[in-house]
């Protein structure tokens, strides 16, 4: 006698009945790039279907996203001016701060998450304040906390520090609490690897370092243990979400932390998106099938929330009844 596992796959209705992994739009976060200037809607060459928007062109995109049922946004800003201290990152009228105000004024129903880092704003492209050719961890914490506070004052619902400085979650939590923002959650980029999967993003955000790399602060993917310390530290410091970035090459990490009591976020990053788009444009793959398979893979591994550039496509397929979740 052998086991007939196929019995539970005999029809679509039966497969729908017994499935135990689900996805809905509430769990997807759509990243948006905004930049200073006017009348800008510029496609990012290495990320087909993704654009950089000036604030005057952002309204139409937000209206479309609302109509599609997307509820959560992750905002990245590209300033006109950069300096060694990334001063536009915490400027009250900086591009992210003004973008958050625009969204909250016109589309208050969106949940707005802001990326808190310095790489888009520094003249050298690194994620903090330099001491020689190295990023000075403790000095950078002061600036990261200042950036987070400026975003929250502008109306951000969640701040997401991506700099990978030790102690950043504690520094942000302390600064927010001191200013009365005790209920603003922190979505920590807790497990962020020094990865080649970020290439297209650096084109999108003009954030490539002008020298060296980020391997002294972003994690080494050859180490299979240090992510535990990163997660434990961020939880102890007051993080409300734990993020793993990139997503697909690190689902083993997601699985390893899947039992923690905080929501787990996976960032389905730029190259993961662009590789699918490039293959689909060449007719090599079924784009919709590949995208949905990867979404379910992340959920199956233990992800609660997915940040993905595919969110708009998924919402469009749902609206057109091309897929069902």
Question: Is 245 a catalytic site residue?
Answer: yes
Q: Find out whether 82 and 123 touch, Cβ atoms under 8 Å.
A: yes
Question: Is 82 a catalytic site residue?
Answer: no
Which one from 41, 63, 82, 245 is the annotated catalytic residue?
Answer: 245
Which one from 192, 277, 299, 312 is the annotated catalytic residue?
Answer: 192
- Cα–Cα–Cα angle for 237, 99, 312, nearest 5°? 85
- Kind and range of the H or E element at 291? helix 287-301
Report CA-CA distances (Å) from 302 to 30, 233, 317: 20, 20, 24
Give the other-Cβ count within 10 Å of 2's Cβ.
4
DSSP per-residue codes, 131-171 = ETTEE-HHHHHHHHHHHHHHHHHHT-SEEEE-S--TTHHHH
Question: Angle formed by the axes of helices 311-319 and 55-68, to 10°?
Answer: 50
Q: Which residues are catalytic?
A: 192, 245
């Amino acid at each position: 006698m052998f086991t007939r596992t196929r019995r539970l796959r005999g029809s679509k209705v039966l497969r729908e009945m017994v499935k135990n992994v689900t996805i809905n739009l509430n769990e997807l976060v759509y990243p948006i790039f905004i930049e200073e200037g006017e009348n800008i809607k510029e496609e990012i060459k290495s990320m087909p279907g993704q654009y950089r928007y000036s604030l005057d062109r952002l309204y139409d995109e937000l209206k479309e996203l609302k109509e599609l049922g997307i509820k959560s946004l992750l905002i990245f800003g590209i300033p006109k001016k950069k300096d060694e201290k990334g001063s536009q990152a915490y400027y009250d009228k900086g591009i992210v701060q003004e973008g958050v105000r625009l969204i909250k004024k016109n589309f208050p129903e969106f949940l707005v998450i802001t990326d808190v880092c310095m790489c888009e704003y520094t003249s050298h492209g690194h994620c903090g304040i330099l001491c020689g050719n190295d990023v000075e961890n403790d000095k950078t914490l002061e600036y990261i906390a200042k950036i987070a506070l400026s975003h929250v004052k502008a109306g951000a619902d969640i701040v997401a520090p991506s700099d990978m400085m030790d102690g950043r979650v504690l520094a942000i939590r302390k600064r927010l609490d001191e200013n009365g923002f005790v209920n603003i959650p922190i979505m920590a980029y807790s497990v962020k690897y020094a990865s080649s999967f970020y290439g297209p993003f650096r084109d999108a955000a003009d954030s490539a370092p002008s020298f060296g790399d980020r391997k002294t602060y972003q994690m080494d993917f050859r180490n299979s243990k240090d992510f535990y310390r990163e997660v434990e530290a961020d939880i102890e410091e007051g993080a409300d979400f734990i993020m793993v970035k990139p997503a697909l090459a690190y689902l083993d990490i997601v699985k390893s932390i899947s039992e923690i009591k905080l929501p787990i976020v996976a960032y389905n990053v730029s190259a993961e998106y662009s590789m699918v788009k490039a293959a689909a444009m060449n007719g090599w793959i079924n784009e919709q099938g590949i995208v949905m398979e990867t979404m379910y893979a992340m959920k199956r591994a233990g992800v609660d929330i997915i940040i993905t550039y595919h969110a708009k496509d998924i919402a469009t397929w749902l609206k057109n009844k091309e897929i069902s979740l």
